[in-house]
Amino acid sequence: MRGQDGSPFRVEIDLQQQTAFLVRGRGLVLESPISSGRYGHLTQTGSFKVIEKEINHYSSIYGKIVDANGNTIVADADVDMKVPRGGKFMPAPMHYFMRFHEADGMHAGYLPGYPASHGCVRMPEQLAIAFFHAVEVGTPVAVFGRTPRANEYHPYGLPPNRRMQPWFGRPVDPRFQPQYDPRYLDPWWH
């Protein structure tokens, strides 16, 4: 599936694993940890396309409120919150912004290790830059999976007791499972 611009790339965002993938054809090009929308501001699932790219984008809705000296008073503020005299609302920076659905997009941002945004998909800056340069307007974006709740989510994956198989110590994630090899069924191969 190619974007409107003929780009061979597509983006897949797994909310359960809090990971974004840049895929070209059948090959994985890049993998990035993410911080998606938290409960009350979940990232929308579905099939989308990149509809806008902007290197120095700022939120028109979210940011922080600072006092006259520039000290943060409210770190997670909405534009419609009361600002004290001498203070101001500072829009949140969303560098390397790649909008894919309404106000939601991928961009460089802080990753606390769990879903924490207002719906956007935050990435480490260097990976956001790489995704930004690879995708074009029209690049397909698939968002899937269930956002983990705080009590079942640990930074970057499942809880340690669910992540490892007790007998091998291997991750349970299917990408790390031994691949099926039909030679093991052939008695002549031994």
pLDDT digits (tens, 9 = 90+) for 114-157: 999 999 999 999 999 999 999 999 999 999 999 987 655 555 54
CB atoms within 10 A of CB 179: 4
pLDDT digits (tens, 9 = 90+) for 102-113: 999 999 999 999
pLDDT the model gives residue 31: 97
Q: What is the DSSP string of 2-39?
A: --TT---EEEEEETTTTEEEEEETTEEEEEEE-B-BPT
In a domain, 189, yes or no: no
Helix (H, G, I), strand (E, B) or coil at 149: coil
In a domain, 58, yes or no: yes
Higher pLDDT, residue 158 or 7? 7
In a domain, 21, yes or no: yes
Question: Residue 183 pLDDT > 80, yes or no?
Answer: no
User: Which whole number is the average pLDDT over 2-19?
Assistant: 83
pLDDT the model gives residue 152: 53
- Residues of the domain holding 33: 9-172
The domain that holds 89 is classified in CATH as: 2.40.440.10
pLDDT the model gives residue 1: 52
User: Which whole number is the average pLDDT over 6-11?
Assistant: 86
In a domain, 103, yes or no: yes
Q: What is the DSSP string of 36-105?
A: -BPTTSPPPPEEEE--EEEEEEEEEEEEEEE-TTS-EEEEEEETTS---TT-EEEEEEEEEEEEEETTEE
Higher pLDDT, residue 156 or 76? 76
pLDDT the model gives residue 7: 73
In a domain, 64, yes or no: yes
What is the three-state SS of 161-189?
HHHECCCCCCECCHHHCCCCCHHHHCHHH
User: Which whole number is the average pLDDT over 33-46?
Assistant: 96
Domain tally, the chain: 1
The answer for 86, left when phi > 0, alpha when psi is -120 to 50, beta otherwise, is: left
In a domain, 3, yes or no: no
